[in-house]
């Protein structure tokens, strides 16, 4: 899973013109002109998603421009810059009635964290920026994600989904979500693999953590560890962030 050391140099992508009018229609103009200005830019959703390298993220990235009082501003221009070969569509546009702009994101082809920079300008022309991060999973990490969805998330993810009812609330000792880097970054690869292989009881932990040594191969368990490292927040060893240029 060891991600390649990715250089700080980043490639800002200039995309073909594909801008949206405030009502969301494509207008085909080279550059949208702002009709209003805000004072703040906030993330409404879509950050820290994990998906296979080169794929489009399930959820769009949604940002909102607010005025100084925190009310949404319609018609403000937001531009996105992404690192690496990440593609945002559209790469800029005007906020809608709800003050929001929603863009889809296709990840680059290297595994790692991709930084995305959203920017708008206030009345005085000063740039207001917001950083988002997305996680591109390599082959092994993605295998780990599939195994986690199948075997682990019903206990390790407190959220229920359409396909799966979470068992988290029924557990006496609460396991950590795999994104919980604050805790899991301090656990060694060896211990993560041992707890998964032999179960909680074998490592003086809750017996509600089953043993998977009989179900999963060593390769599977290594993939799970690689996945846990890839999705950790704060990042495991803070390496591999691909920065967007200012
Ligand atoms: C039936 C519920 C259940 C399932 C399914 C499950 N776990 Fe756990 N897991 C637990 C519980 C409960 C703990 C907490 C044990 C403790 O802290 O005493 C735990 C703890 C762990 C830990 C130690 C870190 C932590 O979260 O506290 C790891 C690593 C772990 N599980 C990995 C996995 C992996 C990998 C899978 C899937 C292959 C998995 N678990 C599936 C219940 C489960």
In the three-class reduction of DSSP (H, G, I as helix; E, B as strand; rest coil), residue 115 is classed as strand
Q: What per-residue confidence (pLDDT) applies to 131?
A: 96
Residue 32 pLDDT: 86
pLDDT score at 165: 86
Determine the pLDDT at residue 1: 37
From CA 65, how far away is CA 61, in angstroms rounded?
Answer: 13
Number of structural domains in the chain = 2
Q: Cα(177) to centroid of ligand 1, in Å?
A: 9
Give me the domain span that covers residue 176.
139-237
| CATH label of the domain that carries residue 93 | 2.60.40.10
119-177 tens-digit pLDDT: 999 999 999 999 999 999 999 999 999 999 999 999 999 988 888 889 999 999 999 99
Which atom in ligand 1 lies closest to the alpha carbon of residue 215?
38
CB neighbour burial string for 27-49, b if at least 16 within 10 angstroms, e if fewer:
eeeeebebebbbbbbbebebbeb
Q: Give residue ranges with CB within 6 A of ligand 1.
A: 151-152, 154-156, 167, 171, 173, 175-176, 192, 195-196, 200, 205-206, 208-210, 212, 224
* pLDDT mean by block of 10 residues, the chain; 246 residues: 35 35 45 92 97 96 97 98 90 97 96 95 96 96 97 94 87 95 94 96 92 98 97 81 61
Q: Do 97 and 109 share a structural domain?
A: yes
Residue 59 domain-assigned (yes or no): yes
Alpha helix positions (H), the chain:
139-147, 153-156, 181-184, 189-198, 218-231
Write down the pLDDT at residue 10. 32
Single pTM value for the model: 0.83
Domain end among 108, 137, 166: 137
User: Is residue 194 one of the residues assigned to a domain?
Assistant: yes
């Amino acid at each position: 899973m060891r991600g390649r050391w990715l250089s700080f140099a980043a490639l800002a992508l200039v995309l073909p013109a594909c801008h949206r009018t405030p009502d969301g229609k494509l207008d085909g103009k080279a550059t949208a002109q702002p009709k209003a200005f805000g004072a703040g830019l906030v993330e409404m959703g879509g950050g820290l998603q994990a998906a296979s390298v080169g794929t489009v993220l399930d959820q769009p990235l949604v940002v909102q421009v607010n005025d100084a009082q925190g009310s949404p501003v319609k018609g403000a221009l937001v531009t996105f810059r992404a690192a690496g070969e990440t593609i945002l569509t559209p790469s800029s546009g005007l906020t809608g009635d709800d003050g929001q702009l929603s863009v889809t994101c296709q990840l680059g082809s290297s595994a790692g964290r991709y930084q995305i920079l959203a920017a708008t300008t206030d009345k005085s022309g000063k740039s207001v920026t917001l950083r988002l991060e997305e996680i591109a999973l390599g082959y092994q990490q993605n295998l780990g994600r599939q195994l986690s969805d199948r075997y682990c998330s019903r206990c390790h993810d407190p959220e229920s989904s359409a396909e799966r009812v979470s068992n988290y609330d029924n557990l006496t000792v609460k396991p950590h979500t795999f994104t919980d880097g604050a805790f899991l970054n301090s656990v060694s690869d060896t211990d993560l693999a041992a707890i998964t292989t032999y179960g909680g009881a074998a490592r003086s932990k809750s017996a509600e953590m089953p043993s998977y040594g009989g179900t999963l191969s060593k390769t599977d368990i290594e993939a799970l560890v690689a996945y846990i490292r890839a999705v950790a927040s704060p990042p495991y060893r803070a390496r591999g962030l691909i920065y967007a240029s200012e």
